[in-house]
Structure formats: structure tokens, C-alpha cells
């Protein structure tokens, strides 16, 4: 368990694990890269970085965010060969808004400028989410995965490759 994974002998078995994933929701999409350490066959801790794009329909405009955070993945293997697994990813971090388009609406009749998007470049937002799913191991630790995304910045799905 946990005690062995962090013991001197257990740390010798740690292996790197990376994922490239894409999440997409009703108005949000983001490519995300994670890199971390698989402490045993069941658990992985990693850092993440991504580039979010949220479309604001009523503006219309976009909010572009650079996301960073930490993630924890737990595998529940199906079968002795561990080819198929159900997993659960939890992540938390911060998003820095670096660009906003369509922030203002100009009324052509009156010439008035109205702010329709409250967020501004430089704002920081909290991001966090849960990504459960199904993983299929193809070769050694090369695997494909997909599932739903339930997060503060996205409600949709994710798909990716890990190695």
C-alpha cells in the first residue's frame, strides 16, 4: 500500500508517466500535458499544464487561459494482465487568463460601449475537476484512455494517450 510505495524499497520501483489529453465541453476546450511519477501499479502523482479556451456565446468572445496544477490518478485494474482499467483523475490548480476577445459590445445606434465579459487578462481562477474513465494498455505502459470530465471550467469529455 501507501507505506510500501514511499519506503526506500518502494521508491526504487517508481516510474515516470506522461499523458497528452484533450478535453472538450459545451463551451470549453483544452489540450493538457501531464508529467509525473507512477508510485505503484495503482497510483500516479503528476503536474499538469494546459491551454484553455472558453467561448462566451452572448458576447460573442473567448477567454484564453493557461492552466497549471497537480493531479492524482488511481487505477482499478480489470483482470490479471492489467490491459483494461477504470481510473479516476482528480486535479486542482490555477488558471491565468492571458487573453480575452469580445469583452465589449458596441451598440452601433447609440455608440455605447458595454462590457459583456467580466474577466480580464491577468485574472487568476481556480480550476479543479474529476476525470473518470476507461484505459486500454496497448504496449508496456503505452495506453489510450477516455471518459467524462466534470470540472470547474469544463463539463464534457476527455480523450488521450499515456506513456
Report the C-alpha dihedral over residues 3, 85, 49, 53, rounded to 10 degrees: -150
pTM of the model: 0.88
Quote the pLDDT of residue 51.
Answer: 97
State pLDDT tens for residues 51-105: 999 999 888 899 999 999 999 999 999 999 999 999 999 999 999 999 999 998 8
H helices within the chain, ranges in order?
Answer: 2-5, 8-11
Tell me the pLDDT band of 109, cut-offs 50, 70 and 90: confident
pLDDT at 112 over 90: no
What is the sign of the dihedral through the CA atoms of 29, 103, 120 and 58? negative
Phi, psi of 83, deg, nearest 5: -80, -40
DSSP label at residue 5: H
Report the chain's mean pLDDT, rounded to a whole number: 94
Secondary structure element (H or E) that encloses residue 9, with its range: helix 8-11
Nearest to 102 by CA among 114, 88, 90: 114
Amino acid at each position: 500500500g501507501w507505506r510500501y510505495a514511499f519506503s526506500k524499497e518502494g521508491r526504487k520501483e517508481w516510474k515516470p508517466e506522461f499523458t497528452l489529453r484533450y478535453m472538450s465541453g459545451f463551451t470549453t476546450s483544452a489540450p493538457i500535458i501531464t508529467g509525473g511519477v507512477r508510485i505503484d501499479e495503482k497510483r500516479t502523482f503528476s503536474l499538469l499544464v494546459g491551454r484553455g479556451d472558453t467561448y462566451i456565446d452572448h458576447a460573442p468572445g473567448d477567454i484564453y487561459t493557461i492552466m497549471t496544477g497537480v493531479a492524482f490518478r488511481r487505477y482499478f485494474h480489470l483482470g490479471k494482465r492489467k490491459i483494461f482499467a477504470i481510473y479516476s483523475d482528480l486535479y486542482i490548480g490555477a488558471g491565468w487568463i492571458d487573453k480575452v476577445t469580445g469583452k465589449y459590445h458596441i451598440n452601433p445606434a447609440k455608440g455605447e460601449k458595454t462590457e459583456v465579459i467580466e474577466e480580464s487578462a491577468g485574472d487568476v481562477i481556480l480550476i479543479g475537476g474529476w476525470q473518470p474513465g476507461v484505459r486500454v494498455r496497448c504496449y508496456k505502459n503505452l495506453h489510450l484512455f477516455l471518459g467524462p470530465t466534470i470540472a470547474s471550467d469544463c463539463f464534457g469529455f476527455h480523450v488521450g494517450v499515456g506513456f
